[in-house]
């Protein structure tokens, strides 16, 4: 059985092992694959694994030997699931592998804004503390999180973990969620979207991307939030209208925007958020801790093994 990984570099740039997959068949790993290379590289494979390389209807129809697609991620929008189903091709994903790492990144961003640790570390590298006439100094407000309102849009695995951590910081946690209020933890209050936008000191986005949530944060939304609010997006880039967000930051209608995801990845060089000093952007790395990537590889391997043994798991 031939197994092909189309874009293995981001999940495993060399610090992990694909040996588990190589015991299941003849394994070929490509670091990156362009759209023009996809069909040729996957042509003889029965099993194809992909992270971001698209396997749409056109590609699937040109791969007669293909029997299994494993997505090296939780989201599987890169695969035309209907086309795969018509051919009897099993499609699997890797759910919840990055929950802890993404939740951690939410608070890494938040604390970077409220405590400015990197700013002060950089200042001290240039000798500022050594030259200070006092035992300490600060040149920006330092914000305590306890008692502030932490608003969450979407209470799936990651949103729920973020809620628990916010509660541990003694924050008031409110959420927009489809879950009934009686099913929520006692420290989470279900609210309307209007209330969340109006009262949130911190607003964290964890909802799926859909027609209803695309550009969820836009000019109108941003006019309803507190000027002191911090919006954090570790969900999907297109949840936020980035032009409107940049306008809000430049006009000081929002204190900060923290994002690990962008509408285009990598972002276009002229994206206005790249030049905003109150936009704190990381390059889609919340999922990429060593521990999370190891879970990803392990579960992806277990998914293929389970399919080989006739008991497929994590089928989408």
| Token pair belonging to 44 | 């003889």
H/E segment holding residue 173: strand 172-176
Distance (Å, whole) CA 244 – CA 241 = 5
> Which among 43, 67, 214, 284 is annotated as catalytic?
284
- What count of other Cβ atoms lies within 10 Å of the Cβ of residue 53? 23
Is 224 assigned a catalytic role?
Answer: no
Write 66-72 long-range contacts (CB < 8 A, 24+).
Answer: 66/42, 68/92, 68/304, 68/307, 70/300, 70/303, 70/304, 71/316, 72/5, 72/7, 72/8, 72/11, 72/296, 72/300
Q: Which residues pair with 3 in a beta bridge?
A: 27, 47
Is 265 assigned a catalytic role?
Answer: yes
Is 172 assigned a catalytic role?
Answer: no
> Which among 26, 37, 40, 265 is annotated as catalytic?
265
H/E segment holding residue 112: helix 99-115
> Which among 172, 236, 293, 295 is annotated as catalytic?
236
* Catalytic residue numbers, as ranges: 236, 265, 284
């Amino acid at each position: 059985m031939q197994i092909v990984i189309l874009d293995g570099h981001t999940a495993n740039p060399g610090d992990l092992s694909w040996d588990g997959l190589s015991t299941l068949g003849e394994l070929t790993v490509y670091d990156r694959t362009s759209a023009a290379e996809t069909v040729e590289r996957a042509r003889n494979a029965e099993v194809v694994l992909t992270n971001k390389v698209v396997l749409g209807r056109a590609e699937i129809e040109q791969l007669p030997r293909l029997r299994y697609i494993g997505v090296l991620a939780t989201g599987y929008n890169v695969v035309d699931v209907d086309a795969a189903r018509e051919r009897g091709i099993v499609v699997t994903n890797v759910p919840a592998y990055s929950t802890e790492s993404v939740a951690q990144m939410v608070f890494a961003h938040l604390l970077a804004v409220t405590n400015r640790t990197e700013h002060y570390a950089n200042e001290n590298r240039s000798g500022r503390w050594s030259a200070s006439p006092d035992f300490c100094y600060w040149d920006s407000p330092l914000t305590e999180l306890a008692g502030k309102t932490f608003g969450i849009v979407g209470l799936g695995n990651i949103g729920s973990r973020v809620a628990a951590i916010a509660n541990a910081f003694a924050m008031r946690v409110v959420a927009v969620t489809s879950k009934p209020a009686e099913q929520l933890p006692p420290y989470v209050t279900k609210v309307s979207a209007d209330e969340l936008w109006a009262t949130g000191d911190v607003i964290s986005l964890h909802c799926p991307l859909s027609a209803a949530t695309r550009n969820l944060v836009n000019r109108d939304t941003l006019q309803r939030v507190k000027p002191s609010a911090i919006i954090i997006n570790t969900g999907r880039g297109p949840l936020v209208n980035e032009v409107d967000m940049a306008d809000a930051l430049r006009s000081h209608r929002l204190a900060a925007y923290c994002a690990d995801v962008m509408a285009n990845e990598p972002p276009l060089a002229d994206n206005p958020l790249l030049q905003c000093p109150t936009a704190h952007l990381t390059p889609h790395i919340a999922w990429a801790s060593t521990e999370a990537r190891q879970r990803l590889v392990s579960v992806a391997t277990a998914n293929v093994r389970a399919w080989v043994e006739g008991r497929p798991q994590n089928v989408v």
